[in-house]
Structure 1
Amino acid sequence: MTEKDRDYKLLCLVLSRMTFLTTFEKLNLIKKLDSLNNLMVLSIEEISTIIGRKSRARWDGKLFLNQARQDLYIITKFQISMVLYTDKEYPALLREISDPPFLLFYRGNIDFLSKFCISVVGTRRMTSDAARSCVEFAHSACLDGTNIISGLAFGIDRKAHEGALKAFDESSDKNIAGKTAAVLPGAIDNIIPEGNRKLAQRILESGGCLISEYAPGEEAMPYRFVQRNRIIAGLSSTTVVIQAPPGSGAMHTADFALGYNREVMFHKAAFSESSMKISSIVRRQLSLQADKGSTEEKKLRMDPKLFVQDGAPIIENYADCLRCLSEAPEKRNCTQANTNLLTLFD
């Protein structure tokens, strides 16, 4: 690594830790600065002038630089790669969202993220029907060359990755089979949950990748799970919810996808009798909590029932998903009629 390349990486790593700036403000700083040293000598007032708004954030250039040097040591030691928003390798669809990550840290191959991907999400406490349906969906998708994005959590996420890996193992041409990417809610050097470490390794061995926007050593704080979900939604043109109760993390992902003008679909397993009983219980709990002022009203609106009422299709399998994607939204004729299932909510 040349000294120039090292300084540029350190500049990007310093900026990645300046969480008080947006991605586009960080890019503006890179554009206005000639070197890493020029950033280090800036005061917070001078930074505010460059970005065009006043910031009261605590800024200590030396402290941030020391942390960036530790970051660079770790990513070099553990062979972690990084890609900037402006790099050609940065996933094109992710670049289109309103709040894209400034920097992505990854292990494995990210080239396939420029091809057709479907995000598959759902609850950790899945039903057996939802688990089976998830594996079948991801398996069929990857055998067809479609790539699967999920979050490496227990439950539906794990089943989505397992379905993709099953297709890879069965494929006679490993180059044609779809891959799977796991987006992490913490640093890439600290895989969580620990029970999925072997799964993460299998993902890498199959030609997939692990992705995070967080610098080395950063823990998976609760709010970062929601931030992670926007990346899962942003990497794909379509998000498929296998099973998710109202207000859950998976429904946050669906909400992000809609906000990015992406497709959102629900697997029919989300409306099985057992799934609907769970959703009904959660819906009542959210309503009670909202009455006490302890839950945002937005969570109540993150309800599969409401998404379907607004036009989200219900699909039965991967082939059904492709049929829906090939039809105009107003003319879709998926195998499971939404109106028939909606009557079961009443």
Structure 2
Amino acid sequence: MLHTDDELIFHISLARITFLKFSEKVFLSKNIDNSNTLSLLSIEEIEAFLERKLQKKVIWNGKKNLEFARKAFQFCKAYGIKCLLHEDRDYPELLRQISDPPYMLFCRGDERLLTGPSVSVVGTRRLSPEGKKAAREFSYAAVTDGCNVVSGLANGADGYAHQGAVDAFFDYQEKGLDTAGLGKTVAVLPSSIDEVIPYSHKRLAAQILQSGGLLVSEYEPGRDMEKWHYVARNRIIAGLSPATVVVEAPAGSGSLITADFALENGRDVMFHKATFGELAKKIADASNAELERQHADGKVSRYKIENRPEKFLEAGAPVISDYKDYLKCLAEAPGARLPLQGQLF
């Protein structure tokens, strides 16, 4: 769907409002004429529209919000950043189906990848050598099979997953092979679309774009980074694919939050066997001990300690050995691998 400049500024203005739910942004978009009207609304008028009271700590400056939206739009226009609205044809249907989809997506690269076949690959930042190899090789095999790999550009498993996909492209290119049939990699950013976090992955981000991949964020250019963006990013990673593969994840790992999101939205969750390797177990044991100390000091919840891979296996999540095994697992009946998993412990 084509949008005028004024329409996009209006939608960016709505997308920026963090105290509104997705459904409320959609409601306001259908009941307010334009960005100028939105900018003049008071908190009380917004509450009247929504028929609910907002939290007292909510801060709203409509005119400043519009000013930032206009600057973000001009940045997108100048640098060729694509703005996808939730109702657009190119907005991924799988993501639209989750309970809290992003109102807008900002894309650098080939946004068509969002609607292609994909698998999400996540894991801990503290990977064992086996985990690094597993993440890279899984992604390499996936893209050579024409499947896109979605991850979050974080250190650890995310970085190795993206690198595997990028390496496949450049290997094919070096050998003079046709890269058209390759899958690509999609990096979901926790930051604004014009920023790469962690900064050490700027080169990797550039390689993702050079190899025909995509950087995507629900945050417009210039948006300040917030800690809660990491968890919000995880729901998008899970929402973009029919399945999420976890490569090593000790208790409390953010990748297990991604797995939770996937299950909540009816997607498959699988664990790579590297999760249960000897070195991975040592890393997990050290992480568990630290979590227990933090819990004793009142710094983390019991949920974080109890959210571990074993919980997912007990609920039926299968263990896979590689991409070929992943495909085999997708075709199997639910629970087909449960008897084998007891051998891991």
Bin for the TM-score computed over the shorter chain: over 0.9
1:76-155 to structure 2, matched below 5 A, reads 76-155=77-156
* 1:290-344 deviation digits (Å, cap 9, x = unpaired): 233321122122201221122111100001111111011122489xx31100x2x
Partner Cα distance (2:121, 2:167) in 1: 15
Residue in 1 that maps onto 2:238? 233
Deviates more, 1:161-170 or 1:318-327: 161-170
CA contact (8 A) 2:75 2:221 kept: yes
**Matched residues, percent identical?**
44
Question: Deviation of residue 102 (structure 1)?
Answer: 0.8
Count, aligned residues: 338
Question: Deviation of residue 169 (structure 1)?
Answer: 2.5
Tell me the secondary structure at the aligned position of residue 281 of structure 2: helix
AA in 2 matched with 1:273: E
Residue in 2 that maps onto 1:163? 164
Partner Cα distance (2:61, 2:308) in 1: 44
Tell me the secondary structure at the aligned position of residue 265 of structure 1: strand
CA contact (8 A) 2:113 2:186 kept: no
AA in 2 matched with 1:321: Y
* 1:122-180 deviation digits (Å, cap 9, x = unpaired): 11221111111111100111100111001111221111011111222234232210010
Unaligned 5+ runs, structure 2: none
2:46 matches 1:47: yes
Partner Cα distance (2:336, 2:274) in 1: 23
Question: Deviation of residue 284 (structure 1)?
Answer: 2.6
Q: CA RMSD in A?
A: 1.7
Partner Cα distance (2:251, 2:322) in 1: 22
Tell me the secondary structure at the aligned position of residue 125 of structure 1: coil
2:206 matches 1:201: yes
Runs of 4+ deviating beyond 4 Å: none
2:30 matches 1:31: yes
| TM-score for the superposition, normalised by structure 2 | 0.93
* 1:81-134 deviation digits (Å, cap 9, x = unpaired): 111111111111111111111111110112122122111111122111111111
CA contact (8 A) 1:254 1:264 kept: yes
AA in 1 matched with 2:89: K
Deviates more, 1:11-20 or 1:215-224: 215-224
CA contact (8 A) 2:120 2:238 kept: yes
Residue in 1 that maps onto 2:327? 322
Partner Cα distance (2:23, 2:128) in 1: 42
CA contact (8 A) 1:134 1:163 kept: yes
Partner Cα distance (2:252, 2:276) in 1: 16
Deviates more, 1:182-191 or 1:290-299: 290-299
Unaligned 5+ runs, structure 1: none
AA in 1 matched with 2:341: N
Partner Cα distance (1:175, 1:332) in 2: 35
| CA distance 1:190–1:132, change in 2 (3 Å) | same
CA contact (8 A) 1:78 1:189 kept: no
| TM-score for the superposition, normalised by structure 1 | 0.93
Partner Cα distance (1:287, 1:333) in 2: 29
